[in-house]
Structures are given as C-alpha cells and as structure tokens.
Amino acid sequence: MKFLFDLILFDPLYNALVFITNILPSHNIAISVIILTLIVKILLFPLYHKSSSAQIKIKEIEPKLKEIQNKYKDDKQKQAQEIMQLYKDHGVNPFSSFLLLFIQLPIIFALFFVFSKGFELNLDILYPFINPPEQVSTIFLNINVEEKSLLLAFLVGITQFFQMKLAIPPIQKRNNKTPDFKEDLMRSMQIQMKYVLPVIIVFISYTFPAVISVYWLTSNLFAIGHELIVKKKALNIINSFKKKEVSL
C-alpha cells in the first residue's frame, strides 16, 4: 500500500516541488509550496465544481425536499424512495461531496508529507530528468519556514474559521419545542466545526515547520475564494427559482 502511495502520489509531488524550486530564480521553498498547492487545487477544480453544482441544485429543490419529508414523515421507506427519485429527476448526486473528500484525502496527505520533507533532498526518489537546486531559500515574509511560526499558525486558524463560516450553513436558534437529539447534535457539530476546529488547527500548525502553514494557508484562501463564487452562484439560482414560483 505504501509502495503505491509513494509511486502514484508522494514521488510525483515531491519531484514537482523540487522542479518548481529549481526553476524559480529565488529557489524559495515557500513560493514553490504555494505554486504546487495551487496547481493541485486547479487540477481538482472540476471535482470541486461538480460538488458545488450538486449543492446548488440541492438548495434549489430544498422546498420540494421538505415537502416530501413532511408528507411521508411516518413512512421512512417511501420518504427515501421519493427523495432519491427527486434527486434523480434533477440530476443531483448527494454523494458527490463524499466522493470528492475520498479523492482529496490521499492527495492532501501526500502534499503534507512532501512539504514536511521539503528541506530533505532525497536523490533516491528524484527522477533522472529533475535537477535539484544548489541552494534553497527558506525565508518567506521575513519568516524562516524551516522553523515554527505563531503568526502563520494564527493566519491558518483565521482563514479556517472563515472557510468554515462560508461552507457550513448558519447555526439555527433552538426553538421552544421538545428537545430534539438530532437537532441538538447537528447544532453541536456546527459549533465545533466553526469555532473549535480553527483553534485546534492553530495548535496543530504551530507544531510543524511553518512551511506546512504556508500550504494550509494557501489551501484555505483558495477554498474561501471558491466558496464565495459558489455562494454567489447559488444565491442567483435560488432568487431566479423564487421569481419563477411567484410568476406561476
């Protein structure tokens, strides 16, 4: 398993990092990390777009979804069948987000390992046509990315918070009805993802060399930009859908 992981992901990404570092005039490892992260994100963008389109369509059919849930609340089997039929009729794959996650995770781990070993030149896994740089600059924004950086760790935490704020639906206020375990669990998970996770990530980032924070920060900023585009597109579609309903 490790052999396949190295062959398919780690080795190509490591060689790409060395190649980018070598062709940069400054041979700056942090800039190489930013470039490689953006390249990987752009290559994965079609998958992001597909997942985002599914989210937009789910938002569009949300009223019909709630209608089915209320209509068949006492018949879960029928409810599930009607919901799946609704997804099928509108070309929605509710599992696309999970598929994207499963595809991303090995790549994320590979990038993490590559960047954590970015200062160690391993000639054994270097492709013959890749020339290693004679020197590597590790200074980025007056920070030595070989060392820990509290500033970059905080920036990672802040951008993670904004990413979660955009990605997670607004936390609904508790109503006065009888306590609902499912509702309480969802609220608890949303609060932890939005407020606790960024704090944990600050501590995790600070335990590694700052080059990892550079990768994480770049990834978060890309995700924030993507979420803003998706939100705007979703809002336009929902507004147009509401106008059609009013006209009917």
Per-residue pLDDT at 180: 58
Residue range 211-219: mean pLDDT, rounded: 92
What's the number of CA atoms in the CB half-sphere (13 Å) around residue 172?
10
pLDDT at 236 over 70: no
Please compute the mean of the pLDDT values over residues 151-160 and round it to a whole number.
Answer: 94
- Which pair of tokens denotes residue 81? 């069948």
What domain range is 134 assigned to?
A: 2-247
Q: What is the pLDDT of residue 111?
A: 84
Please state the pTM of the whole predicted model: 0.77
Return contacts of 196-199, CB within 8 angstroms, 24+ apart.
197/160, 197/164, 198/157, 198/158, 198/160, 198/161, 198/164, 199/157
Q: Are 210 and 147 in contact (CB under 8 A)?
A: yes
Residue 245 or 192, more confident: 192
Rounded to the nearest 5 degrees, what angle is found at the Cα of 81, between the Cα atoms of 76 and 86?
120
Residue 2 pLDDT grade (very low, low, confident, very high; cuts 50, 70, 90): confident
pLDDT for position 72? 81
The tally of domains found in the chain comes to: 1
Q: What is the mean pLDDT of residues 23-46?
A: 91
| Mean per-residue pLDDT, 36-57 | 78
Provide the pLDDT for residue 86. Answer: 81
The per-residue pLDDT for range 50-86, each reduced to its tens digit, is 666 666 667 677 778 788 878 887 777 888 888 888 8
pLDDT of 244 over the 60 cut = no
The predicted-structure confidence for 101-148, as pLDDT tens digits, reads as follows: 677 778 878 888 888 776 777 878 899 999 888 888 999 999 999 999
